[in-house]
Amino acid sequence: MPGSTIGQLFRLTSFGESHGAAIGGVVDGCPAGLELDLVSVQGELDRRRPGSTPLGTTRNEADRVEWLSGLYATPVPAFAGMTTRSDITLGTPIGFLIRNTDAKSSDYDALKDVYRPGHADRSWEQKFGLRDHRGGGRSSARTTAACVVGGAIARQLLAGAGVRVNAYVSRVGEVHVLRDPRELDLNATWASDVRCPDTEAAALMRRLIEQVRAEGDSIGGMVRCVVQGLPAGLGDPVFDKLDADLAKAMLSINASKGFQIGSGFAAAMMRGSAHNDGYWIGSAGEVDTRTNHSGGTLGGISTGGEIYFDVAFKPPATIAQAQHTVNTEGKEVVLEARGRHDPCVVPRAVPIVEAMACLVLADHWLRQRVARV
């Protein structure tokens, strides 16, 4: 049944397989009158692209967004060096697509009759009774490109309300960021090829990824996401808690295995007297806390404080080492993988985590408009 839509008021419906004609989506519910910077949307997509860092796969797709509907181009006076194209949202669904230009299905012919360990090949076949063996089909991380476009639109809606969403790689294997997150310059993330703003940690991560690649292996990691400027009151008390919707969004990203907000799993080892974030009156008369174990939500509703959460990613399933598996005829075989793949997905997961967060936050930001008479 339908499972390709996320959001209630700000809603993305995505479509597309990795090796079909195109992937894309429809953003329905974006309010009318939003001035949308399409160059910036493309910029976000570029960050997700395979090949955007020297560490990723060598598959190279242009990944140009083609806008189909929902926008009204405003006549903008031309300046030398103009780098923006400003469009106005009509309030109607924004359809878009991204062509699959670099799909080499033949790369996957060898995989037609074998189940790859750690991949969705077998579960997919058991679900649908058939399998599109060309790449991961709809299980491919390529589908996240549509999320990035939808999230980039959501981000521009949120920006008008002063909301900022920044993610970064906080761990690759044994290497993790040791510095206090508040000391990090979140704007430095994109300058780092491993998408980590802590330069010492970044250097270690890069070295580890290169080593793992040399071994024909892959490695897992973590992404932290920080949300600043979010108003209080977002999220619903019971099922559609803000953190519950964030958890769903994060677990819907390929290769993610866990989500935690605020103190997260560490909370299981804490006392209430240490965990509760006491209230104080700040210097400007505002109510404030000195700790943020809640991670910015209480009872599933945003507090107005900083939101932060972590997402764990498993190591990519495709490796260059031989693996034990079975084929579709029920024989045990040894799989020698080929093709183009990342030894570590977390650098490329950063824009996706941000995008999914933006989708959830924009949805709840609109939802809050109908919370009171």
Q: Kindly give, in sequence order, each residue whose CB lies less than 8 Å from that of residue 2, ignoring residues fewer than 6 positions away.
A: none
Q: Kindly give, in sequence order, each residue whose CB lies less than 8 Å from that of residue 179, ignoring residues fewer than 6 positions away.
A: 198, 201
Would you say 5 or 185 has its CB closer to a second copy? 5
- List b or e across 120-129, with b for residues whose CB sees 16 or more CB atoms inside 10 angstroms: bbeebeeeee
The stretch near a second copy (CB under 8 A) out of 47-55, 102-110, 167-175, 194-202 is 167-175
By CB under 8 A, is residue 190 in contact with a second copy? no
Q: Which two tokens stand for residue 299?
A: 């009872």
Q: Rounded to whole angstroms, how far apart are CA atoms 93 and 201?
A: 42
Within 13 Å and on the Cβ side, how many CA atoms surround 62?
Answer: 9
Q: Are 153 and 41 in contact (CB under 8 A)?
A: yes
Would you say 81 or 330 has its CB closer to a second copy? 330
CB of 265 to a second copy, least distance (A): 4
Would you say 106 or 191 has its CB closer to a second copy? 106
Would you say 51 or 119 has its CB closer to a second copy? 119
Q: Rounded to whole angstroms, how far apart are CA atoms 94 and 113?
A: 39
Would you say 184 or 249 has its CB closer to a second copy? 249
> Which one, of 246, 227, 234, lies nearest residue 302 by Cα?
234
Q: Rounded to whole angstroms, how far apart are CA atoms 354 and 342?
A: 20
**What residues between 194 and 253 interact with a second copy by CB under 8 A?**
212, 217-222, 231-241, 243-252
**What residues between 27 and 46 interact with a second copy by CB under 8 A?**
28-29, 31-34
Q: Rounded to whole angstroms, how far apart are CA atoms 199 and 290?
A: 28
> Which one, of 272, 10, 327, 12, lies nearest residue 150 by Cα?
12
**What residues between 94 and 113 interact with a second copy by CB under 8 A?**
94-95, 97
Would you say 63 or 277 has its CB closer to a second copy? 277
The stretch near a second copy (CB under 8 A) out of 45-53, 76-84, 183-191, 297-305 is 297-305
Q: Rounded to whole angstroms, how far apart are CA atoms 120 and 230?
A: 36
- Total residues at interface with a second copy (CB under 8 A): 160
By CB under 8 A, is residue 318 in contact with a second copy? yes
CB of 171 to a second copy, least distance (A): 5
By CB under 8 A, is residue 347 in contact with a second copy? no
Q: Which two tokens stand for residue 275?
A: 């965990």
The stretch near a second copy (CB under 8 A) out of 75-83, 103-111, 182-190, 276-284 is 276-284
Q: Are 146 and 23 in contact (CB under 8 A)?
A: yes
Rg (C-alpha) for the chain, rounded Å, is 21
Given 3, 75, 77, 81, the residue binding a second copy (CB under 8 A): 3
Would you say 193 or 217 has its CB closer to a second copy? 217
By CB under 8 A, is residue 127 in contact with a second copy? yes
Given 193, 298, 339, 340, the residue binding a second copy (CB under 8 A): 298
CB of 64 to a second copy, least distance (A): 14
Q: Rounded to whole angstroms, how far apart are CA atoms 91 and 72?
A: 10
Would you say 80 or 238 has its CB closer to a second copy? 238
By CB under 8 A, is residue 285 in contact with a second copy? yes
> Which one, of 218, 175, 158, lies nearest residue 354 by Cα?
158
DSSP lists the bridge partners of residue 28 as 11
Given 1, 78, 80, 178, the residue binding a second copy (CB under 8 A): 1
By CB under 8 A, is residue 166 in contact with a second copy? no
Q: Are 278 and 290 in contact (CB under 8 A)?
A: yes
Would you say 56 or 185 has its CB closer to a second copy? 56
By CB under 8 A, is residue 143 in contact with a second copy? yes
Would you say 97 or 148 has its CB closer to a second copy? 97
**What residues between 43 and 72 interact with a second copy by CB under 8 A?**
66-72
Site string for a second copy, 72-91 (x = CB under 8 A): x---------------xxxx
